Amino acid sequence: MKAAVIYKGKYGSTAQYAKWIAEALYLSVLDIDKEVADHLGEYDLLIIGSPVYFGNLLLKHWLSKNKNLLLKRSIKLFVVCGSAGNQQAQDNIIRQNLHVDLAKSCEVHFLPGRVDMSKLSWFDRLMIKAAALMQKDRQKRYMMMRGYDAVKREHVNPLIKSALHYANTEKIV
């Protein structure tokens, strides 16, 4: 049995979670653009990470393109976003980004992300400020204007526990 962590991120929070998960489980982190395309079929368990931008997973098209292969593997998907913990927002993200079969077959973990205004591209900063202006909830508006950092090592514990359970039953090497 083989397992690996793969992800695509933009500003580092998804990369940080991928690193913590890989370290805890002694797994390699694969480059989604290079190694993965040809070797996806070799893995029994794939722990896949993606942030959400404007309602879309950064890996939305990749997940769709590789759907048939992914359906034959065990998938744990970690979604890094600003709306982790908001059930309705989480349901919307799943509905808008995952094919129904994939949504049913993979385990999804929502992890709280980070927005560091000083690191955002001009376009992303503009868009997040525009979205903040439309936000009615004062606290959320403030958070969106100032940025936030909710990335914590402890958030990956449930995913690690679930992967360890899988490893114990399936004997990952």
Ligand X SMILES: Cc1cc2nc3c(=O)[nH]c(=O)nc-3n(C[C@H](O)[C@H](O)[C@H](O)COP(=O)(O)O)c2cc1C
Binding-site ranges for ligand X (CB under 6 A): 9-14, 51-55, 80-83, 113-115, 120, 124, 127-128
- Closest CB to ligand X among 50 and 74? 50
Between 46 and 82, CB nearer to ligand X: 82
Minimum gap (Å) between residue 73 Cβ and ligand X: 23
Query: Which residue carries 């769709």 as its tokens?
Result: 64
Minimum distance, C-beta of residue 59 to ligand X, in the bound complex (Å): 11
Query: By C-beta, is 108 or 172 nearer to ligand X?
Result: 108
CB of 120 to ligand X, least distance (A): 5
**CB closer to ligand X, 52 vs 102:** 52
Which residue number places its CB atom closest to ligand X?
113
Kindly state the smallest distance separating residue 129's Cβ from ligand X, in Å: 9
